[in-house]
């Protein structure tokens, strides 16, 4: 992390100068490193104020706590402790303020990604592309909320040049709040789909919420949006920033970034062709997950908007590393297995199942899917999981395993569609793993 002086940290927090420089920030006493400043966050099922004593025992240089939560009982637990405790009104706001201070002091370029579908995949691709030409950091997994975004910014180091930040949305105003913390130079909207309708009520409201990112860029910031997404055009036009557009296809004059995937003779590998105003690149890629072309074009457009050399960046496509348990393809004798068990949404999972079946068909194998819980779906979460299981059976998935508490509804939906059926080899067509069970052991059991 970029070190903040005591004066800089105090100014960010609205406090007098802190007693020591801020060398690092932690919200978890179990992973805190000696010298870190501990921030006691509160959530629905935890309260960091209960762990201030543990944080000091782990070597914290100080702690930030909320005035109303810092009770006499809690104060008594650290009586005699000489390291400072700083009182604030809201510890989450304090975490955000420290993150913003680090971001401003660092001078890095921030590229932010949001959208209804493909945020994490686009973030991973963007990080892979940017890393070809700059020293970069990125959001871990999908730590993309009001806690994760500050933690990402607090991981900026002295040699970091670019930060790739993913931003999620659970309601109106949330992306605006995250953007005000990160202050991006480039804001990328991957797409707008009817995801989170239960929160915002309409597709138009979702589009407006996504455009909050473009409305809160730094001065001279650049927005990146899909060409032809009509629902987003009006709010984008009012954002007041320069806009770069990307499109699937090579014949659209209205988009700066254009691209296609062209299959090679083997039916599996493909050529990714990307064009931009100053040039063109062709990159050989293997089997790709659904949405890959849209995501990689959004990432390439982000590089272009940031003034990075697109051709050099695209070299990162072949060496990209997806977030763990996202579209991990395994080819076994007679089987094509995808591990897509990391948190996704119903639209993305159903598309992944369709692509799996197509890929298995080209390889002449049976399609096996390992799927996990889909989170933040509200009161209809069981129905959404059930429908994904039904869809898996409809498109021809031959074996389905669910991982996690909610994934059992996928399995139930799948079995309801195939009630009484058995795979030709005698295997049960579906099964369920608990959240802590090893997916690797399951995959190993599928090997002949």
Evaluate if pTM is beyond 0.75.
yes
Q: Grade residue 336 by pLDDT with cuts at 50, 70 and 90.
A: confident
Mean pLDDT of the chain: 89
Helix residue spans in 155-228 (DSSP H): 174-182, 197-200, 203-215
What residues does 401 pair with on adjacent strands? Answer: 370, 431
Residue 260: predicted pLDDT: 98
- CA gap 309, 165 in Å, rounded: 20
Q: How do strand 257-263 and strand 270-276 relate by DSSP bridges?
A: antiparallel
Identify the structural domains of the chain with CATH numbers, from first to last. 6-91 (3.40.1390.10), 107-316 (3.40.1190.10), 328-446 (3.90.190.20)
Segment 215-252, tens digit of pLDDT: 999 999 999 999 999 999 999 998 999 999 999 999 99
The contacts of residue 427 (CB under 8 Å, 6+ apart) are: 399
Judge whether residue 445 has pLDDT over 60.
Answer: no
Q: Grade residue 263 by pLDDT with cuts at 50, 70 and 90.
A: confident
Judge whether residue 297 has pLDDT over 90.
Answer: yes
Segment 38-63, tens digit of pLDDT: 999 999 899 999 999 999 999 999 99
Highest averaged pLDDT of the listed ranges 151-165, 227-241, 361-375, 411-425: 151-165
Q: Grade residue 399 by pLDDT with cuts at 50, 70 and 90.
A: confident
The contacts of residue 224 (CB under 8 Å, 6+ apart) are: 186, 187, 188, 189, 243, 244, 245, 246, 298, 301, 302, 305
Phi, psi at 281, each rounded to 5°:
-140, 145
C-beta neighbour count of 220 within 10 angstroms? 8
If residue 37 lies in a helix (H) or strand (E), which one and from where to where?
A: strand 37-39
Instruction: Assess contact for 59 and 32: CB atoms under 8 A.
Output: yes
Please give the structure tokens belonging to residue 107. 């001078």
The arithmetic mean of pLDDT across residues 86-113, rounded, is 98
């Amino acid at each position: 992390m970029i070190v903040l002086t005591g004066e800089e940290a105090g100014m960010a927090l609205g406090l007098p100068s802190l007693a020591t420089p801020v060398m690092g920030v932690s919200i978890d006493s179990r992973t805190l490193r000696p010298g870190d400043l501990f921030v006691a966050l509160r959530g629905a099922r935890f309260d960091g104020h209960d762990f201030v004593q543990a944080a000091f025992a782990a070597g914290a240089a100080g702690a930030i706590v909320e005035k109303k939560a810092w009770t006499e009982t809690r104060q008594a637990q650290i009586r005699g402790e000489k390291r400072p405790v700083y009182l604030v009104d809201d510890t989450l706001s304090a975490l955000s303020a420290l993150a913003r201070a680090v971001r401003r002091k660092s001078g890095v370029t921030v590229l932010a990604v949001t959208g209804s579908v493909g945020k994490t995949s686009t973030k991973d691709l963007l990080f892979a592309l940017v890393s070809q030409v700059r020293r970069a950091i990125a959001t871990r997994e999908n730590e993309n909320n009001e806690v994760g975004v500050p933690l990402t910014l607090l991981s900026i180091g002295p040699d970091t040049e670019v930060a790739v930040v993913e931003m999620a949305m659970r309601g109106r105003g949330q992306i605006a709040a995250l953007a005000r913390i990160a202050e991006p130079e480039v804001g990328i909207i991957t797409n707008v789909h009817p995801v989170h309708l239960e929160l915002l009520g309409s597709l138009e409201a979702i589009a407006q919420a996504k455009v909050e990112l473009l409305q809160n860029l730094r001065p001279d910031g650049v927005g990146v949006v899909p060409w032809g997404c009509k629902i987003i055009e009006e709010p984008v036009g009012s954002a007041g920033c320069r806009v770069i557009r990307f499109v699937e296809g090579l014949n659209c004059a209205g988009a700066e970034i254009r691209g296609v995937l062209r299959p090679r003779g083997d039916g599996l590998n493909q050529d990714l062709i990307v064009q931009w105003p100053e040039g063109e690149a062709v990159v050989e890629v293997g089997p790709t997950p659904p949405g890959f072309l849209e995501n990689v074009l959004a990432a390439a457009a982000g590089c272009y908007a940031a003034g990075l050399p697109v051709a050099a960046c695209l070299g990162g496509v072949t060496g990209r590393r997806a977030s763990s348990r996202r579209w991990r393809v395994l080819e076994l004798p007679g089987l094509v297995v995808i591990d897509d068990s990391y948190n996704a949404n119903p639209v993305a999972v159903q598309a992944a199942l369709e692509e799996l079946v197509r890929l298995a068909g080209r390889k002449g194998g049976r399609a096996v899917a390992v799927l996990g819980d889909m989170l933040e779906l509200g009161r209809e979460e069981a129905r959404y999981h059930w429908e994904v299981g039904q869809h898996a059976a409809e498109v021809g998935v031959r074996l389905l395993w669910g991982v996690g508490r909610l994934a059992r509804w996928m399995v139930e939906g799948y079995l309801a569609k195939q009630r009484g059926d058995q795979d030709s080899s005698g295997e049960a067509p579906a099964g369920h793993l608990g959240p802590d069970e090893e997916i690797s052991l399951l995959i190993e059991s599928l090997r002949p």
